[in-house]
């Protein structure tokens, strides 16, 4: 546990070494790679996330998918868990837990999670084996095992892609990690 905490602090320090413009440029590169990815092009129901200020910015993906009339789902923090709601445009967002913008659209039932074809997942760090280090609250650790049919893509800045990330038996591996 201490190793994970140390790694999270290291990543936060690394983020501080870059300007907002540099981080935005890295986000654009990752978004471009995802849009060119075959998994993305085939998906019509997708889980994305509305980024925190220090996370890779996937808002262009949300906009692109929504404009293409795909079903875009965003997580909402409810107690210790994430529930998924349908994104219905920027006007349907409100400030939620941790000051994250969350949709107020219809609830996407857990019984329908099998319909999610792709999940774009944030993290503090990833490695080439698909291991993911989260923020330590376990929200995605509890959600990801339910997404049995989704192709899971971890997204991060290049400096968050490490040789090795500590993992536990309950961790869900990413099918792919895109960092540039």
38-81 residue pLDDT tens: 899 999 999 999 999 999 999 999 999 999 999 999 999 999 99
Residue position matching structure tokens 């074809």: 117
pLDDT tens readout for residues 84-136:
999 999 999 999 988 999 999 999 999 999 999 999 999 999 999 999 999 99
Burial class of residue 101, CB neighbours in 10 A (0-12, 13-18, 19+): middle
Burial class of residue 18, CB neighbours in 10 A (0-12, 13-18, 19+): middle
Give the domain CATH number at 21. Answer: 3.40.50.10420
- Virtual torsion, Cα 178, 119, 38, 128, nearest 10 deg: 30
Phi-psi region of 99 (alpha: psi -120 to 50; beta: other; left: phi over 0): left
Q: Which domain holds residue 168?
A: 2-178
| 113 CB neighbour count, 10 Å cutoff | 19
Instruction: Supply the pTM of this predicted model.
Output: 0.95
Q: How far apart are CA 174 and CA 57, in angstroms?
A: 19
């Amino acid at each position: 546990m201490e190793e994970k905490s140390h790694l999270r602090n290291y990543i936060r320090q690394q983020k501080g070494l870059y300007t907002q413009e540099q981080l935005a440029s890295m986000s654009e590169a990752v978004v471009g790679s995802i849009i060119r990815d075959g998994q993305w092009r085939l998906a019509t129901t997708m889980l994305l996330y509305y980024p925190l200020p220090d996370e890779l910015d996937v808002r262009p993906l949300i906009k692109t998918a929504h404009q293409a009339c795909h079903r875009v789902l965003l997580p909402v923090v409810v107690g210790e868990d994430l529930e998924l709601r349908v994104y219905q445009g920027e006007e349907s967002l409100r400030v939620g837990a941790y000051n994250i913008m969350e949709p107020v659209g219809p609830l996407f039932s857990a019984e329908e999670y099998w319909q999610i074809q792709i999940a774009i997942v944030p993290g503090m760090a990833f490695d080439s084996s698909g291991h993911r280090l989260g923020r330590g609250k376990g929200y995605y650790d509890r959600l990801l095992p339910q997404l049995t049919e989704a192709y899971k893509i971890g997204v991060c800045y290049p400096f968050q892609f490490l040789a090795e990330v500590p993992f536990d038996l309950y961790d869900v591996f990413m099918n792919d990690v895109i960092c540039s």
